[in-house]
Amino acid sequence: MRKIDSFFIMLLSLLLVGCSGSDSSVNPEPEPPTTGENTNANDPVEGKSFVTDYSMPHLNPENYYVEHTVTYDGKKILNYAYEWVKDKKHTAWVAFSFDETTSQKNVSRSDDAWATDLELPGGWCPEESNHKSDGFDKGHLCASEDRVYSKDANAQTFYYSNMSPQMSSFNGGFWASFEILVQKWARSGAYDKVYVVKGGTVDQLLVNFTGARNGNDGVLPQTDANGFTKKGLACPKYYFMAILSEKGEEYHAIGFWMEHRDDYGYEYDNFAPADVMKTYALSIDDLEKNTGLDFFCNLPDNVENAVESSWKETDWTW
Helices (H) and strands (E) in the chain, counts: 7, 9
Question: In terms of Cα–Cα distance, which of 226, 214, 89, 209 is closest to 160?
Answer: 89
Which one from 68, 131, 140, 252 is the annotated catalytic residue? Answer: 140
Q: Please confirm, yes or no, whether 252 is among the known catalytic residues.
A: no
Q: Sign of torsion, CA 258 170 101 64?
A: positive
How many other C-beta atoms lie within 10 A of the C-beta of residue 143? 23
Q: Provide the sign of the torsion angle of the four alpha carbons 107, 111, 116, 117, taken in this order.
A: positive
CA distance 97 to 146: 9
| Total residue length of the chain | 318
Contact 159, 125 (CB under 8 A): yes
Tell me how crowded residue 160 is: count the other CB atoms within 10 A of its CB.
19
**42 annotated as belonging to a binding site for a ligand:** no
**Cα 29 to the chain's mean position, in Å?**
39
**Helix H segments across the chain?**
2-20, 151-156, 168-169, 175-186, 274-278, 284-291, 301-308
Asked if 162 and 151 touch (Cβ cutoff 8 Å), the reply is no
Q: Please say whether the dihedral angle defined by the alpha carbons of residues 62, 242, 303 and 45, taken in this order, is positive or negative.
A: positive
CA 313 to CA 64: how far, in whole Å? 35
Known binding-site residues for Mg(2+) equal: 171
| Residues marked as catalytic | 140
Known binding-site residues equal: 171
